[in-house]
Chains A and B, each alone.
Chain A
Amino acid sequence: GENVEQHPSTLSVQEGDSAVIKCTYSDSASNYFPWYKQELGKGPQLIIDIRSNVGEKKDQRIAVTLNKTAKHFSLHITETQPEDSAVYFCAAGLTGGGNKLTFGTGTQLKVEL
């Protein structure tokens, strides 16, 4: 089955700096790679996703890059703000109904003033 590794487990940055979280996956068949943000006391929420036919995707201050050959993908947050402080999860899986995702172990991001 799929195995997803996520690093680092904790990340502390100064407000305004960039943050990068990296994930690797094992199953070359995986073609869908979402990122979820979990704020304290809430369930995870999708912030951005990418499919294997795309190498990069941006949405305002967040971007995701995918290297299919190396089987790794990364989340980039620029101009970090205190409200970016949360736990971030990467995941990998297949598109299509009925397919499951495999999640990484999470990264606790803290943006310090």
Chain B
Amino acid sequence: DVKVTQSSRYLVKRTGEKVFLECVQDMDHENMFWYRQDPGLGLRLIYFSYDVKMKEKGDIPEGYSVSREKKERFSLILESASTNQTSMYLCASRISTGQGTYEQYFGPGTRLTVT
């Protein structure tokens, strides 16, 4: 079974803090994604990575950065957390070769509260 794990289920941070959200997948997937989930807005893509050291902006990258130094790990960084970044953050991974499947495997999510 594919497993995508996220470092924390719940996180509380103060405004202005630098926040790191970690995601690890164990299936050697090339593609990894970070989304945020908000009521009524669905899943919105923040950043994604085609492969190690590669990254692309998604639909809402402002206020975020990412790091992919190893294939299995994709980190989301909030340089200076703000209250409007309070949300559920979901990481996902996907194999790139498209051998009949384009399924994204999601982690359980990190609920971040910024006070």
Q: Return the chain B residue nearest A9 by Cβ.
A: B40
Shortest Cβ gap from B39 to chain A (Å): 9
Q: Tell me the bound Cα distance from A46 to B2 in angstroms.
A: 13
> Chain B residues near A6 (CB, 8 Å)?
42
Interface size class of B (residues with CB under 8 A): 20 to 34
Q: Return the chain A residue nearest B96 by Cβ.
A: A97
> Chain B residues near A99 (CB, 8 Å)?
102
Q: Which one, A32, A45, A100, contacts B33 given CB within 8 A?
A: A100
Q: Is the CB of A96 within 8 A of B90?
A: no
Instruction: Pick from B44, B59, B95, B106 the residue with the most CB of A within 10 Å.
Output: B106
Residue total for A at the interface (Cβ-Cβ under 8 A): 26
Shortest Cβ gap from A37 to chain B (Å): 11
Q: Return the chain B residue nearest A91 by Cβ.
A: B43
Q: What is the 8 Å Cβ interface bit string for chain B, positions 86-115, against chain A (1 contact, 0 not)?
A: 000010100111100011101111000000
Q: Tell me the bound Cα distance from A36 to B35 in angstroms.
A: 14
Shortest Cβ gap from A20 to chain B (Å): 18
Q: Which one, A45, A49, A97, A106, contacts B106 given CB within 8 A?
A: A45
Q: Tell me the bound Cα distance from A55 to B11 in angstroms.
A: 43
* Residue A25 at the chain B interface, CB threshold 8 Å: no
Q: Is the CB of B102 within 8 A of A32?
A: yes
Q: Is the CB of A103 within 8 A of B43?
A: yes
Q: Return the chain A residue nearest B39 by Cβ.
A: A106
Q: Return the chain B residue nearest A41 by Cβ.
A: B108
Q: What is the 8 Å Cβ interface bit string for chain A, positions 28-59, against chain B (1 contact, 0 not)?
A: 00001010100001111110010000000000
Q: Tell me the bound Cα distance from A102 to B103 in angstroms.
A: 14
> Chain B residues near A103 (CB, 8 Å)?
35, 42-44
Q: Tell me the bound Cα distance from A6 to B90 in angstroms.
A: 20
> Chain B residues near A41 (CB, 8 Å)?
108
Please give me the 5 A-B residue pairs with the lowest Cβ-Cβ distance, nearest first. A43-B106, A97-B96, A105-B42, A103-B43, A98-B50
**Which residues in B have some Cβ–Cβ distance to A below 8 Å?**
4, 30-31, 33, 35, 40-45, 48, 50, 56, 58-59, 90, 92, 95-98, 102-104, 106-109
